[in-house]
Amino acid sequence: MSTAREPESPPSKVALQGIRKEFAYKGRRLPVLDSVGFDVQEGEFVSIIGPSGCGKSTLLNIIAGLEEPTEGSLWLNGNLAHRPLGQVGYMHQKDLLLPWRSVLDNAALGLEVQGVPRAQARARALALTERFGLKGFEREYPFALSGGMRQRAAFLRSVLTGKDILLLDEPFGALDALTRAQMQEWLLELWSAFKKTILLVTHDVEEALFLSDRVHVFTARPGRISLTMEVGLPRPRNHDLVTREPFISYKAQLLTAIRQESLSAQEEPWR
């Protein structure tokens, strides 16, 4: 069910207002998110960074319609959204690829779930394997791929669903530093080629700064926004910029904010 929002130009792709989420835990209510509000405009790349357990994945689940907020409102494309299943592309933190499906069949899965016939879904996936660095590996199974390739295959599945809003939950968390840097540059190329609006969750300060137009730092649980940083770095970006000003100053500022948060989260230290 959708209701039109107050006229506004242009409407945000994603707008959150006063989001609160509580889970039932050992007979009590565990507050996980509190008063979270922000907007993401069309074509923006926005990151969320915050301590483990502060509700980042829960927030993405709410935006994807998998969880309902206890309080607060979510708008997608200017419309008030209630459990908006199927409106965004979502690359989850954990479940990446199905081990019993080939790369191509994994990539095609999102389309198949939407009701696209299998042959057509596979053809659409096949057309993009080169761009996603998977050419020649289409018939391999996930165990035979490198970590970076698995991530790209999972990313291809999310992009293929055709949604213009993509939620990425620590997509490069398991990769070594070099592969991670390559994947970040590749992601920026794709983002500009496909003109997506991206909301990314990461633990990596450098990654958040390198990729984003804006970074929201969350407090320890219950997650609230403690700092929002506009990242005024010119685009296109490559990794040369991370060793120079103003990147270094941005990074120092973010690290200070995060350190303060981790001090107040002694039970669940910053990973």
Burial of residue 74 (CB within 10 Å: 0-12, 13-18, 19+) is buried
Q: How many CA atoms lie within 13 A of 263 on its CB side?
A: 6
CA neighbor of 39 nearest in space, from 74, 7, 90: 74
From the list 16, 19, 32, 125, which residue makes contact with ligand ATP (rule: CB under 6 A)?
32
CA neighbor of 155 nearest in space, from 168, 139, 174: 168
From the list 12, 47, 57, 202, which residue makes contact with Mg ion (rule: CB under 5 A)?
57
The verdict on 25 binding ligand ATP (CB under 6 A) reads: yes
Residue 53 binding: pick among ligand ATP, Mg ion, none (C-beta 5-8 Å cut-off by kind): ligand ATP
Q: How far from chain centre, in Å, is Cα 9?
A: 25
Q: How many CA atoms lie within 13 A of 131 on its CB side?
A: 17
Stretch that binds Mg ion, among 43-51, 57-65, 242-250, 258-266 (CB under 5 A): 57-65
Q: Is the peptide bond before 31 cis (omega within 30 degrees of 0)?
A: no
Please, which residues bridge with residue 19 across strands? 36
The verdict on 23 binding ligand ATP (CB under 6 A) reads: yes
CB of 85 to Mg ion, least distance (A): 20
Angle 75-80-85 (CA atoms, 0-180°, nearest 5)?
80
CB of 261 to Mg ion, least distance (A): 16
Residue 260 binding: pick among Mg ion, ligand ATP, none (C-beta 5-8 Å cut-off by kind): none
The verdict on 216 binding ligand ATP (CB under 6 A) reads: no
The verdict on 55 binding ligand ATP (CB under 6 A) reads: yes
Kindly list the strands in the beta sheet with 71-76, ordered across the sheet, starting from the edge strand earlier in the chain.
2-4, 79-81, 71-76, 14-25, 28-40
- CA 169, 135, 129, 109 torsion-angle sign: negative
CB of 58 to ligand ATP, least distance (A): 3
The verdict on 262 binding ligand ATP (CB under 6 A) reads: no
Interface with ligand ATP in residues 159-188 (CB under 6 A)? none
CB of 55 to ligand ATP, least distance (A): 4
Element of type H or E holding 104: helix 103-113
Tell me the pairing of strands 2-4 and 45-49. Answer: unpaired
Tell me the pairing of strands 89-91 and 165-169. Answer: parallel
Nearer to ligand ATP, 105 or 206 (CB): 206
Nearer to Mg ion, 56 or 163 (CB): 56
From the list 13, 56, 214, 216, which residue makes contact with ligand ATP (rule: CB under 6 A)?
56
The verdict on 209 binding ligand ATP (CB under 6 A) reads: no
The verdict on 76 binding ligand ATP (CB under 6 A) reads: no
From the list 2, 17, 52, 179, which residue makes contact with ligand ATP (rule: CB under 6 A)?
52
Which two structure tokens, joined as six digits, stand for 30?
Answer: 């565990």
- Binding residues (CB under 6 A) for ligand ATP: these are 23, 25, 32, 52-58, 93, 221
